[in-house]
Amino acid sequence: MSKDNGLPVDKINQLSQILKDQGLTEIEIEVDNVKIKVRKEAAVVAAAAPVASTAPSSAPASAPAASSNYHAIKSPMVGTFYAAASPDQEAFAKVGDKISKGQTLCIIEAMKLMNEFPSDVDGEVMEICVKDSEAISFGQVIMKIKI
């Protein structure tokens, strides 16, 4: 293993290539008590933060036929989904909760920034499609709201 300043450069390069080839945003390994984490950051995340999800009239392709009463809340960026402000606090929104337009639904961490993500509709949370602390991608459905 070649090293540069104590770092296994060849392993870092291999992880970077796997990240690129597989379309991942983060990968971590531990070799000989050395833990390496490689993370790919989105270039335009800060500009994407204020963008709301799609309008209620555009139903997602994977939605059931009777989706006219449902709205898919989609991630405006690549990041990590957090259901609550901290692990010891209650989730911003849970299945069955009535929500209002502008109400915070979750936090999406991107480039070490915590972005509160508000609802763009009034309704009831029918499904949360991702798990807490899960990596999410741009446009991924994170919640389904009955409107």
pLDDT for residue 18 is more than 90:
no
Domain co-membership, 19 together with 83: no
CATH classification at residue 82: 2.40.50.100
Determine phi and psi for 11, rounding to 5 degrees. Answer: -70, -40
Q: Per-residue pLDDT tens for 47-78?
A: 344 444 444 444 444 444 445 688 999 999 99
Average pLDDT, the chain: 77
Domain co-membership, 35 together with 60: no
Q: Per-residue pLDDT tens for 90-128?
A: 999 999 999 999 999 999 998 888 999 999 999 999 999
Domain with 30 in it: 3-39
Instruction: In whole angstroms, give the CA distance from residue 145 to residue 74.
Output: 11
The bridge status of strand 113-118 relative to strand 135-136 is: unpaired
Domain co-membership, 15 together with 82: no
Task: Name which residue leads in pLDDT, 41 or 85.
Answer: 85
The count of structural domains within the chain is 2
The residues facing 123 across adjacent strands are: 99
Domain co-membership, 28 together with 66: no
Say which residue the tokens 């949370």 belong to: 125
Determine phi and psi for 33, rounding to 5 degrees. Answer: 60, 20
Domain co-membership, 57 together with 32: no
In this predicted structure, what is the pLDDT of residue 138? 92
pTM for the structure as a whole: 0.54
Q: Per-residue pLDDT tens for 138-147?
A: 999 999 999 9
